[in-house]
Amino acid sequence: MFSRSLKVWFFLLAFAVVAAIISIPSVSRAQGQSAVAAPPTSPEIHAVLEKIIHPKKVQVGDAVSARLTELTKLKDGTELPKGTHVLGKVTEIKMKADKEGPSKLGLLFDKAQLKDGKEVPLTMALVSVAPRWEPSGVDPVAADNGAASAGRVTQMSQAAGRTDGSAGGDTLNKGLGVRGATSVSETAMRPGVSYLQDITIVSYSMGEPGTILQSSKNTVYLDSGSRLLLLAQ
């Protein structure tokens, strides 16, 4: 009787061990798939402006809004889905460039609004601006990242938007670019560079007055659909 019970006990033990060994790979695969699906943490936030910001249409203190173009997970663990709104305000306006100085526009973004309406405070700075994405036109972002020829543009397309950052921003502010750079990722935008014609970034910060754009020739404004690069703390 005892011998039979011992045999049953050993059989059950062996079955449990085999079952445990079989289950380990599937658990590992599930964990691996979860790790791959999770977005990498980054301080960069890529967005597009939802409405035009023009000195004739806004005043200091007016709200501004942009929409995230990709899923972003910040270093503190905050996850911002694609389509999340980043909200801010106008901090400074000078309509025209004249003898008293250049035209200016100040912007400060300080929170995110999720799709359910919940607002999350964020410390961030607008560090780069670029025109609306025009697939059939000139993209100065591509020019800034070394696209000096049609062959270089093709190489960049094949590299999924990787950049070498070799070119400076002064040429871009004159509105020069490379036609046909349709596959260069918007993530190629570089901090401190304005890709808008005749507009420069004077300074940027995560507190007041935020980012100051200026132009000694034209009225500074941002059109609807302008691309924004923000850095979050």
Q: Strand runs (DSSP E) across the chain, as ranges?
A: 44-49, 63-68, 72-73, 79-80, 85-94, 103-113, 119-121, 124-130, 138-139, 178-179, 200-203, 211-215, 227-232
117 confidence band (pLDDT: 50, 70, 90): confident
- Work out whether strand 124-130 and strand 79-80 pair parallel, antiparallel, or are unpaired: unpaired
In order of 1, 11, 92, 119, 122, the CA distances from 128 in angstroms are: 82, 67, 17, 24, 18
Query: So where are the chain's domains?
Result: 1-38, 44-232
Model pLDDT for residues 46-98, shown as the tens digit of each residue = 999 999 999 999 999 999 999 999 999 988 888 999 999 999 999 999 999 99
Running DSSP on this structure, what letter comes out for residue 187? G
Cross-strand partners of 80? 72
Model confidence at 165, pLDDT cuts 50, 70, 90, reads very low
Rounded to an integer, the average pLDDT of 115-144 is 87
Residue 156: band (very low, low, confident or very high) from pLDDT cuts 50, 70, 90: very low
pLDDT at 162: 31
Reported as a pLDDT band with limits 50, 70 and 90, residue 107 is very high
- Other CB atoms within a 10 A radius of the CB of residue 43 amount to 14
Amino acid, single-letter form, for residue 184: V
Distance CA 188, CA 204 (A): 19
pTM: 0.67
Q: How confident is the model over 141-154, as pLDDT tens digits? A: 877 776 433 333 33
Residue 207: band (very low, low, confident or very high) from pLDDT cuts 50, 70, 90: very high
Look at residue 5 and give its three-state secondary structure: helix
Q: What is the CATH number of domain 44-232?
A: 2.40.128
Q: Per-residue confidence at 37, pLDDT binned at 50, 70, 90?
A: low
pLDDT of res. 4: 64
pLDDT-based confidence at residue 10 (cuts at 50, 70, 90): low
Token couple for 171:
């040429």
- Average pLDDT on 89-116 reads 95
